[in-house]
Structure 1
């Protein structure tokens, strides 16, 4: 039986109760931080060598043993014991089992407080790159579809009512722009929180580990935290990460909501590929957009994770408190959820078939060309307020006759208002309507092509950031040292 390792308890007369240990023991998911704890421990061993507490040979023995522990753990040859209170206890127990008393030297000059803060920060900095890569996978799917539909006209909606024609590419790229900002938020988050908690120890700093700048550099940080209490007691980097994840999932949920509509029988704009749809256990004819539904559902979870994190922090005395153990539950859930959702949603978008005939047929439904009439009158000197009234009268005329604006004759125009000349018909096509919106950010095909060009450049920049990280990258267990 594995002998329990305790990192505390010397001043206690009795051992901890089983009830206490069941409450105190880390959730099994927390041991995913093992590789990050190992990497930080290797950096700390070199810090102890600089401080004179380890010889060069001892430091080498410890760092080699730690690397072997990480490899064995990820190969399944080494597992936490039920008596391991947390990942730090697990790693130290394994180290002492291999090196004897030498392994116990590693604890000098640090605390589980700075270790816990550091392990999660390393994990999230790594995870931010994985999340960015997954978001970029969805961007590739959106861009791929948009490239095929730069000139495909479609009805645009406000208040879920037909409004004006747009190009379908423009509608897709609206979602791409939101996701572009999500990745930029990850980059900004990483820049702001690229400081190492190591050297903060329990809260006052370490009297032994005095070169936190060097250990920070070893772990890919820009430098150490400025304040040791802030280093161990703050979790705004977790709250902000979970916010970025929740915001991204809200954006995905809005895309999912549109996919429900587009793939419905009533809209019929897109057909989902069989490999990215599900059926019904009772209704054989059904083809459901379950990926979109699950995406929408996960957004609720991530909003809950953010609420949990902020509520956990709101009244804590400013140093380390065990309440902060909840930071990992929220952060892991947010990241795990998105890393499952994003590849599925990207596949759904990439493989869906766009029914351009249905889009074109519906592009003018609901009098979406009415604004073209008002604009046409304004360009001829009619005050827009009056042009608005004339256009409204023309729509009433169409409703009475049961036709669309594009179906009216020159005689019909004149019957409503003599200023409505026959040349008005030239602007009453969806193609003319989208071409007219040629200002910056507009839906005109040439503007959409320019938007695509700029977007590709931005995505390349984001992709380069996602692979340029020089800190520990072990989110995928297969990449462990």
Structure 2
């Protein structure tokens, strides 16, 4: 395929250079967006009297045919084409030689690719947002069954205080909801049209940029043509949002891996979402969670690639920016691969409520409530803290727990202790009394579940 910019050159480009220069292998996925942008541009050219109505009809018909043939497999991408933009324009010119040559009037590949990438990113934002809604809904479903399932909460991966499994799960719902809001924020900034910026300095044609933006359901246009063609902030911002999604999935994966180990046995993964060992017949490996945890590194790397690629570029467009797509596309593809399978794994897991309760009964996770008992009987918290620490030390030395420590031992440390201490430090009391908004009690968690349902419902 002859390059559409070949007029200036006396020799054909070297075959190796052409392969090095080409981006079709990865930007071909933007064919729908490229055609959509070209159709809007052609309508504007006709509206402004720059091309005729017959030109417009042929351009629209030709682009429709190209789209139809690509999706049906009747038209294959030409591997010698420089990029998706040149490929589509070349195919259009084959169908309608005169009209096809007029399509590129008043635009450059610089503003064309800037538009295409925004349109593509916009579509992927909506797809990933729906996946996040799906995982939040599954978390809510699981949490709703476990508002009274007591488990041990951890800090520093050390047993800390009793919570409910629902409370733990809903922490991830909050994370994924923040991910949605980040995507929404990025969408708002990204959804503006750069078309009409030209190569960097607009055009002498009397074009209507706002008309094109309206055709493409974009809220505005870019107001500096140099920034319009060279801005990739939205790609970096979206990739950063995707990296946060993967970081959240990775944290969740780490806990799932711990929870399904023999040492915890809090959950069991469905057989469809685990694998075995080629040599050890007893093994049931959480490979899905491990792969998600590993793939988070790819997306974090993609953000670094985009930032490093852009950091030294002068205005306006530079060929370096062709490197934006593979990193962004990889981040998008990785998240879209991980979210659905993780969601299904979470939906099908079995929860061992007895094992959670058993673990919660160990490790003195009710010690804070013991100290609070003294505070409620008039003691200063720091004094109560010291007394409780001494009681814990006594229990460790005598192989006891606070629930089985004799009352006379309690009273040797502080006469404020009464028989009611045993009720105060029971796991059920410790959890049920934490009714503060955002807390782990069933009442508080049910409220947080309802609020999250309303938030997610408002997104639909």
Q: For residue 454 of structure 1, what is the aligned residue in structure 2?
A: 451
Q: For residue 181 of structure 2, what is the aligned residue in structure 1?
A: 184
Distance (whole Å) between structure 2 residues aligned to residue 359 and residue 85 of structure 1: 59
Q: For residue 228 of structure 1, what is the aligned residue in structure 2?
A: 225
Does residue 1:319 correspond to 2:320, yes or no?
Answer: no
Does residue 1:167 correspond to 2:167, yes or no?
Answer: no
Does residue 1:373 correspond to 2:370, yes or no?
Answer: yes
Shift of 1:27: 4.6
1:32 to 23, 29, 33: 29
Instruction: Check conservation: 2:179, 2:245, Cα contact below 8 A.
Output: yes
**Secondary structure of residue in 1 paired with 2:195:** coil
1:118 to 106, 115, 120: 115
What TM-score results when the alignment is normalised by the length of structure 2?
0.98
Q: Which runs of 4+ in 1 moved over 3 A?
A: none
Shift of 1:10: 1.2
Instruction: Check conservation: 2:153, 2:163, Cα contact below 8 A.
Output: yes
Deviations 1:64-89 (A, max 9, x none): 21011112112211112122100011
What TM-score results when the alignment is normalised by the length of structure 1?
0.94
Shift of 1:415: 3.1
Higher relative contact order (CA 8 A, sep 6+): 1
Distance (whole Å) between structure 2 residues aligned to residue 179 and residue 454 of structure 1: 14
Q: For residue 131 of structure 1, what is the aligned residue in structure 2?
A: 128
Q: Gaps (5+ residues) in structure 2? A: none
Does residue 1:50 correspond to 2:47, yes or no?
Answer: yes
Deviations 1:388-417 (A, max 9, x none): 110001101111221211122322322333
Does residue 1:287 correspond to 2:284, yes or no?
Answer: yes
Aligned pairs for 1:134-213 (under 5 A) are 134-208=131-205, 210-213=207-210
Q: For residue 342 of structure 2, what is the aligned residue in structure 1?
A: 345
Shift of 1:97: 1.2
Q: Gaps (5+ residues) in structure 1? A: 465-481
Instruction: Check conservation: 2:24, 2:81, Cα contact below 8 A.
Output: no
Distance (whole Å) between structure 2 residues aligned to residue 63 and residue 307 of structure 1: 40
Instruction: Check conservation: 1:48, 1:209, Cα contact below 8 A.
Output: no
Deviations 1:189-218 (A, max 9, x none): 101111101111101112226201010111
Deviations 1:94-142 (A, max 9, x none): 1011112221110111100001111111000010000011111211211
Relative to structure 2, which stretch is displaced further, 397-406 or 144-153? 397-406
Aligned pairs for 1:259-278 (under 5 A) are 259-278=256-275
Q: For residue 439 of structure 1, what is the aligned residue in structure 2?
A: 436
Instruction: Check conservation: 2:148, 2:164, Cα contact below 8 A.
Output: yes
Q: For residue 93 of structure 1, what is the aligned residue in structure 2?
A: 90
Instruction: Check conservation: 2:200, 2:317, Cα contact below 8 A.
Output: yes
Instruction: Check conservation: 2:56, 2:99, Cα contact below 8 A.
Output: no
Q: RMSD value over aligned CA atoms? A: 1.1
Distance (whole Å) between structure 2 residues aligned to residue 178 and residue 75 of structure 1: 40
Instruction: Check conservation: 1:110, 1:209, Cα contact below 8 A.
Output: no
Aligned residues: 460
Instruction: Check conservation: 1:413, 1:422, Cα contact below 8 A.
Output: no
Relative to structure 2, which stretch is displaced further, 206-215 or 448-457? 206-215
